[in-house]
Amino acid sequence: MQTTPDEDLATEATLAVAALKILATEAALAAAEGGFEISGTRAAGRTYDYDRHWRNARTHTLHDPVRWKYQHLGRYRLTGERPPRTGTL
């Protein structure tokens, strides 16, 4: 049984988590934005407070920006350059 992952396994795991974060971010924002499209302008009013769903999703995406995840995924797939080994990817 392997107790420490090798570099290739760690890279693949890191990139898989990054890809899932991208998917979750896009899904959360699309769902919140879809609610505005369906509900119209009333959804942004304080009466129903539906805008909090979009704000919550957006806040989470700003604290863990996916734009870097796209770059690291693309760079690895195109050139083989490994992403940095930090806790932020």
pTM of the predicted protein model? 0.78
Give me the DSSP letters along 19-58: HHHHHHHHHHHHHHHHHHHHHGGGGGSTTT-THHHHHHHH
pLDDT value at 19 more than 90 = yes
Residue 15's pLDDT is what?
94
Render pLDDT for 27-77 as a digit per residue (tens, 0 to 9). Answer: 988 988 888 888 877 777 777 777 788 888 888 888 888 888 999 999 999
Residue 27's pLDDT is what?
92
Query: Rounded to the nearest 5°, which phi and psi values hold at 47?
Result: -60, -50
Alpha carbon distances (Å) from 47 to 43, 44, 62: 8, 9, 26
Mean pLDDT of 14-26: 93
Residue 1's pLDDT is what?
52
Residues 6+ apart with CB under 8 A from 85: 10, 14
